[in-house]
């Protein structure tokens, strides 16, 4: 994996931005280069293989919360409550973008990676990519 470093005006490297960009490719980059190997992504987030992706759009926010709890086992209850508070049901879950997961939900990078990867795999299985 190649990580490009981004520098800000004061000369400090924004390595976090570089990691985000390397893991969460922009839509234009995905169209040009394609998504990463879905088998690898599914292997990295095993909770995805246990569900029927066609059922996800009908999930309630409670079902999304349960799935996220299985996917990211170290989230505390207040972090999990965000999905219910923000009314993230199955359709909203499939529409989550990297910025939503990282900034709005205020999750740590590892948790955000797992959630975003699961969204990518589910979208792919549903033909939404």
Radius of gyration of the chain (CA): 15
CB 46 within 8 A of CB 57: no
List pLDDT tens digits, range 36-66: 566 666 666 777 888 899 999 999 999 999 9
Name the DSSP class of 86.
T
Q: What is the pLDDT of residues 69-119, one digit of tens each?
A: 998 888 889 889 989 999 999 999 999 998 888 887 788 888 888 899 999
* Domain boundaries, given as residue ranges, for the chain: 1-34, 37-125
Range 37-125 classified under CATH 1.10.150.50? yes
Please give the model's pTM, rounded to 2 decimal places.
0.68
Picking from 128, 129, 86, the residue whose alpha carbon sits closest to that of residue 107 is 86
């Amino acid at each position: 994996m190649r990580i490009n470093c981004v520098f800000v005006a004061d000369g400090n490297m924004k390595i976090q931005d570089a990691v985000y960009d390397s893991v969460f490719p922009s839509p234009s980059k995905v169209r040009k280069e394609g998504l990463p190997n879905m088998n690898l992504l599914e292997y990295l987030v095993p909770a995805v293989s246990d569900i029927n992706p066609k059922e996800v759009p009908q999930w309630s926010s409670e079902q999304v919360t349960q799935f996220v709890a299985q996917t990211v086992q170290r989230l505390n209850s207040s972090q999990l409550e965000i999905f219910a508070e923000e009314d993230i049901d199955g359709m909203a879950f499939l529409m989550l973008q990297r910025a939503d997961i990282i900034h709005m939900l205020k999750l740590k990078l590892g948790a955000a990676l797992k959630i975003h990867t699961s969204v990518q795999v589910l979208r792919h299985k549903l033909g939404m990519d």
